[in-house]
Structure 1
Amino acid sequence: MIPVPSPEVLVEALASTRAAAAAYHTNLFLNLDQIAGWFAEGGLAWMRGPGAVLVRQREAGLDRLFHAATCPGALAEALARLPEPPRTQPWVSDLVGRPEALTDVAGIYAACGFRHHRSLLRMIRVGTPLPAPPDPSVCDEALPGQADAVVAMLRRLLDPLAERIPSPREVARWAADGEMLTVRRGDTLAGMLAYHVQGRSAHLRYWHVDPRFRGGGAGSALLRTFLDRTRGCTRQTLWVLAHNADSIAKYAHYGFHMDPAVDMIMVKGAAGPGGIA
């Protein structure tokens, strides 16, 4: 792969691929501003071939892979040319859609050496009455200077192959935009919640509490504050690990229900045994 020359060139290549599509498929759903943010952080590379574009976003310890292809055959040919990853820097690709629509694409990835690591399920909240108002004294507006502490907590709690860990720069931007909340216990970060509002939709990006402080009301305060802040939105969405029954039950308690979409995480080159659904 070679470095992406500019965000504009990449966006144009994706658009021309789609225009020439017989059976277009992609897992890259970003606009120019979002791609520009990745470009500014470095590590954005691509490989362009007949009927397909592969894009790599480098993160610490893994390479995220995105594709845009005119048809299944073009995707298969592109993935076959992909270099083998070192075991310390695996390829990770998210395939998003309805399960029945992902069967063929997941099969192409599997034929090229990828394995199914985890699945995420989408949950949605539409028109559900708000819970009791949150206590405004519990949560604080996150500050950009807290970005390193937030990222450090997420690295302790998350499986980076299944749940993308944001960069400190991204987290600082969310805080500057007023789309992140924190709860502190003394000088310690006890919990955080990040979200994004676009139009009349709100997406819950992250909601996590340090295990040492669970059961003390931090998680409830964060989620209630999020729901209160986004009460003008017509829907709120999130992704949750399919095997995390505890989190699914918590979200259901706050009025979220399952949506048909799934995110199948395909991995190539990671050490250890295969994942689970």
Structure 2
Amino acid sequence: MIKISSLDQIREEINRIRDFKKGYFSNLFFDAEKFNLWIKSEILYFYQTNEIVFFFKKNASCYNVYYCSESIESLNKGIFLLKNIYNDRIFVFDIVGTDSGSEETCQIFKTNGYFLYTSLNRMSRLISSKEKSDENDSIRFADHTDLNEIHTLLYEYFDEYAEQLPLVEELNTWIERNHLLLYIENKQIIGFSIFDIIGMTSYLRYWFVHPMHRNKKIGSSLLRRFFYEGRETKRQLFWVI
């Protein structure tokens, strides 16, 4: 693996694959802001062969892996190489698509010794012209004094293999943009939601209620507040396991 030091390296590798003009198979969404954070944190790497490139984000116990390939056959060869070169690493791949559309890709991974860990379903909601605010005094925006507690909750209760957990720097960005909502009870964080607004779409990234406080409609209160905060967008997206 080679450590990535600039966004240009990522762009060059993507363009190199596209220049074959045979096809393009990828699970990578180019997010310059996020990639820059990973580069600064020195946790982003790549490995390339002639017809495929893999990008690796290093986590505490595994790597999230993104691929760009000119064909499904090249993807198969590349995954086989990874298995033999880095057989002591845990790699996690996201496969994006419909069940029928991603069937061939899933089969390639299974043939190379991978297994389906979990599945997420994307939910979409069109915005109502009369989104109402949830008048709940227990909900407020996070500030920087909440950072450590939020980070601890994420890494204690979320599954690193199923979720791409954020860096502290990413949490800071959401706090600065007022995109991190907290549910407070007795001065403790018992729930939160983290979201992005990109163009005319709002994305719910993380949604959490402490296990000891579930079935109290805390999650639904946070969800309604997310809907309200995205009232100027046209649709809202979130993923459920």
Shared fold (TM-score, shorter chain, > 0.5): yes
Pair 99,217 (structure 1): closer, same or farther in 2 beyond 3 Å: closer
Partner of 1:63 in structure 2? 63
Secondary structure at 1:96 match in 2: coil
RMSD across aligned positions (CA) = 1.8
Distance 1:158 1:188, change over 3 A: same
Q: How far has the Cα of 1:94 moved from its partner?
A: 0.2
2:28 corresponding residue in structure 1? 28
TM-score between both structures, scaled by the size of structure 2: 0.92
Pairwise CA distance, 1:222: 1.4
What's 2:75 paired with? 75
Q: Structure 1 pair 132/200, CA: closer, same or farther in 2 (3 Å)?
A: closer
- What TM-score do you get using the length of structure 1 for normalisation? 0.81
Q: Distance in 2 between matches of 1:6 and 1:232?
A: 34
> Which residue in 2 is equivalent to 1:38?
38
Are the aligned partners of 1:196 and 1:205 in contact in 2 as well (CA < 8 Å)?
yes
Using the alignment, how far apart are the partners of 1:31 and 1:234 within structure 2?
A: 21
Identity %: 23
Distance in 2, Cα, partners of 1:225 & 1:204: 11
Which residue number in structure 2 is paired with residue 91 of structure 1?
A: 91
Which 4+ residue blocks in structure 1 deviate beyond 6 angstroms? none
Deviation at 1:214, TM superposition (A): 2.1
Cα distance in 1 for residues equivalent to 2:134 and 2:2 = 49
CA distance in 2, matches of 1:115, 1:212: 32
Structure 2 unaligned residues grouped into runs of 5+:
none
Say which SS state the counterpart of residue 162 (structure 1) adopts: coil
| 1:204 pairs with 2:194 | no
Deviation for aligned residue 1:157? 2.1
Q: Deviations over 1:214-248 (max 9, x none)?
A: 2334322211111111111110001110xxxxxxx
CA-to-aligned-CA distance 1:187-237 (integer Å, 9 cap, x gap): 321111000001110000011111222233432221111111111111000
Structure 1 Cα separation of the partners of residues 126 and 169 of structure 2? 31
1:146 match: secondary structure: helix
Structure 2 contact 23–70 (Cα < 8 Å) conserved: yes
Matching residue of 1:254: none
> Offset at 1:30?
2.0
Unaligned runs of 5+ residues in structure 1 are 242-277
Q: Which residue of 1 aligns with 2:180?
A: 180
- In the alignment, what sits opposite 1:108? 108
Higher relative contact order (CA 8 A, sep 6+): 1
Describe the shift of the 1:227–1:157 C-alpha distance in structure 2 as closer, same or farther (beyond 3 A).
same
- Is the 1:142–1:182 contact (alpha carbons within 8 Å) kept by the matching residues of 2? yes
For 2:86 and 2:68, how far apart are their aligned partners in 1? 20
| Map of 1:19 onto structure 2 | 19
Relative to its length, the structure with more strand (as a share) is: 1
Q: Is the 8 A contact 2:194 2:204 kept in 1?
A: yes
* Counterparts of 1:122 and 1:130, CA distance in 2: 24
Provide the rounded CA distance (Å) in 2 between the counterparts of 1:35 and 1:167: 12
CA distance 1:24–1:109, shift in 2 (3 Å): same
Preserved contact between residue 18 and residue 24 of structure 1 (Cα < 8 Å): yes
For 2:9 and 2:96, the matched residues in 1 are separated by: 24
* Deviation (angstroms), 1:136: 4.6
